[in-house]
Amino acid sequence: MSSATMAPGVAVLGEESTDLPSVALPRTPRAALLWSRALVAASVLVTLFTIDRIMFLFFDYWLFESLGLKSVFWTNFRMGAELYIAAFVTFALAIAVPAFAHDVSRSVRKFVVNTAFLVASVAAYFGAINYTEFLLYSNGSDFGKRDPIFGLDYGFFTFDLPNIWIAWKYLMWAGVLMVCFSVGCASLARRRAAPHASLSRLARRVSVTSPEIVS
């Protein structure tokens, strides 16, 4: 009896199958690589935006100089620079400090520090554009009339209160970022305290972030 003709490359039941050639399949890049590339792209965009703002700064200088109001430009620039530095230092420390407070790897620490500089640059710019409100605060005066409810001069609500809200808003966001990066760095730390079996799931999370609280 003649055997049935089989198509080439098809294994017959009961016979040893031929080895298929190994093919390298595409894989999803690691999360760390994606985050690092996203950080580089964001840094490029922020750098281009900063250059654009510097061009406008020169334009303002030439405009005030042509009008004979160069001192006004330097007054605005000085206040904006002070706000820029204050916001930059606040946000940079809020994000970078957790990376040094926890025992994370060098690559994680480098990523957090780069993120701190990027976020701090953006926050510093938005802080600097509030220079007009703070100039009003530094040159404000009392109106001579007091609010009947709080007993404060009306000048407080005009010159002081807007700046207090601005400062509070930036400090609040810096605190939120510090908490988030503290939790993230604590979770990625190589040296962790052993979780306590008697603690709840939430308490174990807290003990990872602050191991000195739970003994």
Residue 157 lies in a domain: yes
The count of structural domains within the chain is 1
Residue 37 lies in a domain: no
Residue 136 lies in a domain: yes
111-120, 144-153, 164-173: which range is least confident on average? 144-153
* Range(s) of the domain holding residue 158: 76-209
Residue 46 lies in a domain: no
Contact 131, 139 (CB under 8 A): no
Residue 57 lies in a domain: no
pLDDT of 80: 92
Determine what percent of the chain falls in helix, strand and coil, rounding each to the nearest 5: 65, 0, 35
Residue 128 lies in a domain: yes
Residue 185 lies in a domain: yes
The most confident of 161-165, 186-190, 208-212, by mean pLDDT: 161-165
Phi, psi of 153 (to 5 degrees): -65, 145
Q: Residues of 173-188 as b/e, b for ≥16 C-beta within 10 angstroms?
A: bbeebbeebbebbbeb
Q: What percent of the chain has pLDDT over 70?
A: 72
pLDDT of 132: 87
